[in-house]
Amino acid sequence: MPRLALKPDSSFFREIAHGAFGGRAVCKDLDQKGHAMAELERGATDTKMWKDVKRKRVRIPDLICTRCGLRVESKTKTKPDLAMSQSTENSRAWDSGMVDADLIAFPVCIPSKEAYWSRGKLGNKTSYWHEKNWVEWQLEGAVNYFSRRALRTVPFVNRPRKGVTEGAEAIIAWPAVFAKADATIVEVQATRIVTRRIADDRQSFRRIGDKQRVAVVASQGVAVNQILASAVRPTVGAALSCPGHLADGHVATLLASREKTQRFTGVKLARLRRDATYRDTARTLAADAEEDIYVRLEAVAYLNSVCGRGLQPLIQPYLDDPDPQNKLEAVITLAEAGTQEAVTLLTAILDGADLPYFLRSAAAWGLGQIGTAEAVERLVCAFSDVTPEIREEALDGIVSLNGAAIPRLLSYLSNDNMAIASGAAEAVRQCDGLTDEHVNQIAQHAKGQNPPIWPVWLLGNLPRSRVNAAIANLQDSAPELHYALSVLWSFCESWIARQWDLNPNAHFPVDATTHVAEVEEAE
């Protein structure tokens, strides 16, 4: 069993969400410096996991600038610290897959709001446990950046290993001093830095450790968590600005590298930039049986999405691969290709009732990533799938599109198929981007002598203040509908809604064991 598998699910997801939010924060910070950041490692800014099959993640920086090619690894922290984990036992060194020009970012991300709710009970023979944890993350202060070259030139210190539930990896660190508040540098002395806090205009002092370099000057403004001094020189100022273009021959150099992560970067950068110049090289990489599978699959996505090569003959060998990890990566590649043919292939997988759950789940996720009108249609059709978990995956895929999917979903609220109509209503309820016009359309669906169920249910489950204007005259023109909505609103706004459960007597819900059986079969 991999050590990471020992992490509790909730703890593991929290860590994944924390890292993904940090990656997004780094993207935003560097975009403000002129970069155009995108994912380099698949899933670096997302929380999607497939528990049935462990993905073989490539060791490569998380992010890349599509303008200048800068690669950045994000190391999200809960407090300011210049530390990383590594494991020499499985070749997960702190800088595996990196080159000297790569940057390591250290964003500090903390919960600004957090709420926890749980409920459990024991029936005659069956116990039940349900918990929910809401966390609102925020970036706290400055993001600090260091080049891999700079970190490698200074010896690190070892800290105690992580606990077994956190992977039992070693912790390495470089001594550093951080600003404790937004402040102005008053004076830099031989052994300390004097700052004046902006909030209360009071002075404070930060001691400089032995062999630490000062990274600030007098009169400079600093943000909370910004590096003041460290054993390693940070990358700051103009060195973080994007030059706005790739160096001549950059992609060609990457593709010719003997290092697989460089070749992967070259193919992906060419795809993200929609540059068809490298079709011959990509064709060679895709056909090379000894090439790393990530590089080959990235070449497949490039050949299809940029060069117009047929996708099915390129991807089918991977879909037929006996290794489930390779099958999963092939489905994810279809999502990255994002073409009409990819939608068709993903739909066939999603509809394949005899296929393993993890593949169908990945297909639903992939259609949500593509997000075209046809992809939405295919996901809506999956609301009537016989497997409850597939319906939920389709729902998640549509909700990830937020407002973009709402116009198509509204047309399904009155569908004769109740599974599709209910799924469309729940998707609209969860989506961001609901406009007044959308609410008016829902209200029109709900009016009439025999209004369909799900538009009424949807109006009753939206905030009362959000829909009041659209149904202001219902009390006189449609008193029955107004009464039904009042009942729904009263429930949603009551204290009992917090703990409401379909099966309060600890009975198994319908189809609760379906996914468990499929997981056991996959194993």
**Choice among 95-99, 176-180, 476-480 with the minimum mean pLDDT:** 476-480
pLDDT averaged over every residue in the chain: 89
Report the distance separating Cα 16 and Cα 94, nearest Å: 18
Report the distance separating Cα 76 and Cα 358, nearest Å: 28
Report the distance separating Cα 1 and Cα 168, nearest Å: 13
What percent of the chain is modeled with pLDDT above 90? 70
Quick one: angle between helices 388-399 and 373-381, nearest 10? Answer: 150
What pLDDT sits at residue 517?
42
80 by DSSP, 3-state: which? coil
**Choice among 92-106, 111-125, 306-320, 508-522 with the minimum mean pLDDT:** 508-522
125 Cβ contact partners less than 8 Å away, ≥ 6 residues apart = none
pLDDT in tens, 210-230: 889 999 999 999 999 999 999
254 Cβ contact partners less than 8 Å away, ≥ 6 residues apart = 69, 262, 263, 265, 266, 269
273 Cβ contact partners less than 8 Å away, ≥ 6 residues apart = 66
CA angle 424, 427, 430 (to 5 degrees): 150
Q: Give the helix/strand (H/E) hosting 208.
A: none
Q: Give the helix/strand (H/E) hosting 184.
A: strand 183-188
pLDDT tops 60 at residue 51? yes
Report the distance separating Cα 438 and Cα 451, nearest Å: 17
Written out in words, the top-level CATH class of the domain with range 252-432 is mainly alpha
Which position has the higher pLDDT, 132 or 215?
A: 215
Average pLDDT over residues 95-103: 92
Report the distance separating Cα 196 and Cα 203, nearest Å: 4
End-to-end Cα spacing for the chain: 13
Query: Which of the listed CATH numbers 3.40.50.12500, 3.40.50.300, 3.30.1780.10, 2.40.50.100 matches domain 175-231?
Result: 2.40.50.100
Confidence of residue 523 (pLDDT cuts 50, 70, 90): very low
What pLDDT sits at residue 3?
38
Question: What DSSP letter does each residue of 107-123 carry, written as one string?
Answer: -BEEEEEEEEEEEEEE-
Provide the residue type at 64 as one letter.
Answer: I
pLDDT in tens, 339-395: 999 999 999 999 999 999 999 999 999 999 999 999 999 999 999 998 999 999 999
Confidence of residue 285 (pLDDT cuts 50, 70, 90): very high
Average pLDDT over residues 170-189: 94
Report DSSP state, residue 92. B
Q: What's the 3-state SS for 185-200?
A: EEEECCCEEEEEECCC
24 by DSSP, 3-state: which? helix
Q: Where are the domains of the chain?
A: 1-156, 175-231, 252-432
Phi-psi region of 70 (alpha: psi -120 to 50; beta: other; left: phi over 0): beta
Which position has the higher pLDDT, 495 or 510?
A: 495
Which position has the higher pLDDT, 42 or 349?
A: 349
Which position has the higher pLDDT, 115 or 163?
A: 115
| CA proximity to 381, closest of 409, 339, 403, 407 | 409
CA distances from 336 to 55, 100, 277, 299, 383 (A): 16, 28, 19, 11, 24
What pLDDT sits at residue 426?
96
Paired tokens of 512: 């609760």
Q: Which residue has the tokens 């957090």?
A: 114
pLDDT in tens, 452-505: 899 999 999 999 888 888 887 777 778 888 888 999 999 999 988 877 877 666
